[in-house]
Amino acid sequence: MEAQIIGMRGDAGFDEIISHFTSLGGECVLLDPDMVCGKCHAMSAFIHAERAFAEGTNRSKTIMSETILYCAWERQIGRAMAKMKPKEGRNEYVAVLIGIGDPKLDLIGMERDDSLADATEEKAEKLGLKDGFLPYEDQAMENVACVELLKA
């Protein structure tokens, strides 16, 4: 499956955004921008989720929830969803778009802002990333990979 990671902001609500992307023939995972430490963090989570389904090691029923599990570095879906869910009223999202070319954000009044996915020191601190030798985004991807160990 083809996926892309985008940041976006605007007044469309969670359900409206999901419906929009579904109407475009794809699927979408909306994440809290404060919990995404770089586009590679989210993309790595999607790739690991895709592999888990291909190998039959997935813990959840959909590629979307499996992606959230990996992105959150959690073993339990409920905890992962609570950690990664966008905050009410903030109107900023990082989206993992699956099977969608042009997101056509203008149709729902959203504006693309990929900086929402950037790895920052503030995000790293919230996520507990502390290794002084690796960039924050690399640390996030390492944690995604470690979910395999939690699932064993």
Enter the pTM of the model: 0.93
Number of domains in the chain: 1
Contact 28, 64 (CB under 8 A): yes
Q: What is the CATH number of the domain that holds 128?
A: 3.30.2380.10
Structure tokens at 96: 């993992």
Tell me the per-residue pLDDT of 37-96, one tens digit each, with 9 for 90 and over: 999 999 999 999 999 999 999 999 999 999 999 999 998 899 999 999 999 888 999 999
Spatial CA neighbour of 13 closest among 86, 112, 99? 86
pLDDT tier at 1, thresholds 50, 70, 90 = confident
Sheet of 110-112: strand order equals 27-31, 92-98, 3-10, 110-112
3-state secondary structure of 23: helix
Contact 40, 89 (CB under 8 A): no
Q: Which domain holds residue 11?
A: 3-151
Residue position matching structure tokens 């921008």: 33
Tell me the per-residue pLDDT of 12-40, one tens digit each, with 9 for 90 and over: 999 999 999 999 999 999 999 999 999 99
